[in-house]
């Protein structure tokens, strides 16, 4: 809640700012969601400074303010946030949320640090060093999802001992700086066969870099690798609305994350690789992995399609290291607990989608070529979230002929 008023916001690991649509927002998109009433709160202070966050598609404009913000049992009495006067291209009415709560590093914040810290940093400041983490599980429905701060959800894990920890990568940044929740992505597997990736477009990176982004619906990678991926899976085609695959095509796809000795494979449910029988058109389904050459700061955006593999703990041990002398001992890190059982997931997929008697996957080895990643997103452009919006539009087009509701978003 903000100033005692309750909202639903998108929890976005691909951006840093907290903003909510205000009652001054009179555009149609704001009319369909609860908005913040500036006259119905006692602690509000308006800074008078403008806020603008530009997206690849769409934007949000408003004013920087502070008010009391609570989330679960945590309360921050003077939290900086933005009150949005206007949004465009964000489809609030379609998704039902009134704003976004960003959960990545302050380096990506549009609200200057001089106005105050991000919400998650303020909460972390009140916790013991070892409890400075948030954990989440993205389910297929509300009853199978979870978000906690400072403690694990016992439904999914009682201790962090089974998690694989991956230090956050600062590739492309000067040493010790962090912007997104980036992890080394070594290679992909398709039905247990290794699928190598083209060279990273991130300067100085020795592996591909994946950005963990809850604000992105699908998994996005460089177009050349994604094309080779679908050619390897087979029974796939590229269309105006992205890659499609025959709905009964089952592929067990793994992402191998981490550096050196700490590599671990995380396996996707075939249902996340080959999306939703309900969205099919003449037996073609939407691919859960799509091409995008505009990924900023990394090579792959590991969106919800990937993040459903299990439970994640995101720890900010020394997020303040850039501002304070080295008082803390370890870099930020991400703990991943894979929950997908490939055998059970495949059986379930087959039961729903039916058998596929065509030729098995034939993994295409890497064609040597130099990679050119276009940095179409500039500084402070939150690409992760934007891609989510683009793909939700894309999915909308895809769903429209079937007249289905976009209940997922």
Contact flag: residue 337 with ligand NAG (CB under 6 A): no
Question: DSSP string covering 216-245, please?
Answer: -SSEEE-HHHHHHHHHHH-SEEEETTEEEE
Element housing 394 (H / E):
helix 383-399
Q: Show the CA angle centred on residue 125, arms to residues 124 and 127, nearest 5°.
A: 65
Contact flag: residue 115 with ligand NAG (CB under 6 A): no
CB of 17 to ligand NAG, least distance (A): 15
What is the distance between the alpha carbons of residues 7 and 249, in angstroms, rounded to a whole number? 40
Which 175-204 positions form the footprint of ligand NAG (CB under 6 A)? 191
Which 51-110 positions form the footprint of ligand NAG (CB under 6 A)? 61-63, 85
Q: Considering the complex, state which of residue 158 and residue 177 has its C-beta at the smaller distance from ligand NAG.
A: 158
Q: Considering the complex, state which of residue 62 and residue 172 has its C-beta at the smaller distance from ligand NAG.
A: 62
Which 339-378 positions form the footprint of ligand NAG (CB under 6 A)? 346, 356, 360-361
Q: Considering the complex, state which of residue 76 and residue 337 has its C-beta at the smaller distance from ligand NAG.
A: 337
What is the distance between the alpha carbons of residues 107 and 85, in angstroms, rounded to a whole number? 24
CB of 294 to ligand NAG, least distance (A): 28
What is the distance between the alpha carbons of residues 220 and 11, in angstroms, rounded to a whole number? 19
Q: Considering the complex, state which of residue 233 and residue 268 has its C-beta at the smaller distance from ligand NAG.
A: 233
CB of 136 to ligand NAG, least distance (A): 15
What is the distance between the alpha carbons of residues 387 and 217, in angstroms, rounded to a whole number? 8
Contact flag: residue 233 with ligand NAG (CB under 6 A): yes
Strand order in the sheet with 274-275: 236-239, 242-246, 284-287, 274-275
Q: Considering the complex, state which of residue 291 and residue 337 has its C-beta at the smaller distance from ligand NAG.
A: 337
What is the distance between the alpha carbons of residues 102 and 142, in angstroms, rounded to a whole number? 20
Question: Can you list the positions of beta strands (E) in 104-160?
Answer: 133-137, 146-149
* Site track 128-167 with ligand NAG (rule: CB under 6 A), x = hit: --------------------------x-xxx---------
CB of 313 to ligand NAG, least distance (A): 13
Q: Where are the alpha helices (DSSP H) in 49-114?
A: 92-95
What is the distance between the alpha carbons of residues 159 and 391, in angstroms, rounded to a whole number? 35
Count of residues engaged in binding ligand NAG, rule: CB under 6 A: 21
Contact stretch for ligand NAG (CB under 6 A) within 89-97, 118-126, 221-229, 247-255 = 247-255
Among 71, 183, 218, 252, binds ligand NAG (CB under 6 A): 252
Cβ burial of 300 (10 Å; 0-12, 13-18, 19+) is: buried
Instruction: Using CB under 6 A, list all residues that contact ligand NAG.
Output: 24, 50, 61-63, 85, 154, 156-158, 191, 233-234, 249-252, 346, 356, 360-361
């Amino acid at each position: 809640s903000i100033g005692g008023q309750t909202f639903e916001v998108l929890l976005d690991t691909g951006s840093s700012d907290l903003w909510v649509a205000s009652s001054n927002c009179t555009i149609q998109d704001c009319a369909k969601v609860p908005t913040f009433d500036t006259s119905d709160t006692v602690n509000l202070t308006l800074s008078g400074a403008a806020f603008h966050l530009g997206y690849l598609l769409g934007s949000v404009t408003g004013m920087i303010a502070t008010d009391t913000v609570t989330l679960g049992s945590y309360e921050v009495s003077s939290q900086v946030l933005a009150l949005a006067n206007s949004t465009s291209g964000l489809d609030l009415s379609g998704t039902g949320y009134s704003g976004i709560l960003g959960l990545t590093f302050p380096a990506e914040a549009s609200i200057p640090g001089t106005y105050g810290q991000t919400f998650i940093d303020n909460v972390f400041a009140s916790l013991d060093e070892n409890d400075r983490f948030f954990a989440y599980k993205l389910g297929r429905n509300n009853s199978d999802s979870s978000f906690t701060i400072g403690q694990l959800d016992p439904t999914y894990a009682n201790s962090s001992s089974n998690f694989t920890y991956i230090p956050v990568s600062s590739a492309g940044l000067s040493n010790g700086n962090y912007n997104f929740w980036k992890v080394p992505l070594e290679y992909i597997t398709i039905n247990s066969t290794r699928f190598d990736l083209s060279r990273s477009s991130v300067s100085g990176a020795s592996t591909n870099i994946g950005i963990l982004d809850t604000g992105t619906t699908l998994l996005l990678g460089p177009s050349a690798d994604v094309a080779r991926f679908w050619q390897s899976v087979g029974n796939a085609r590229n269309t105006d609305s992205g890659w499609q695959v025959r709905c009964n095509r089952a592929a067990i796809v793994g992402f191998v994350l981490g550096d050196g000795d700490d590599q671990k494979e995380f396996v996707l449910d075939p249902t996340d690789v080959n999306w939703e029988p309900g969205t099919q058109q003449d037996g073609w389904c939407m691919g859960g992995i799509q091409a995008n050459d505009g990924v900023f700061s990394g090579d792959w955006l590991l969106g919800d399609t990937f993040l459903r593999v299990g439970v994640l703990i995101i720890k900010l041990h020394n997020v303040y290291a850039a501002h304070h002398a080295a008082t803390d001992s370890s870099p930020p890190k991400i703990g991943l607990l894979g929950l997908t059982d490939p055998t059970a997931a495949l059986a379930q997929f087959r039961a729903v989608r039916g058998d596929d008697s065509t030729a098995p996957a034939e993994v295409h080895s890497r064609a040597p070529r130099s990679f050119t990643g276009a940095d179409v997103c500039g500084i402070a452009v939150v690409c992760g979230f934007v891609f989510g919006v683009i793909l939700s539009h894309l999915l909308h087009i895809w769903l429209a002929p079937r007249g289905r509701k976009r209940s997922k978003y």
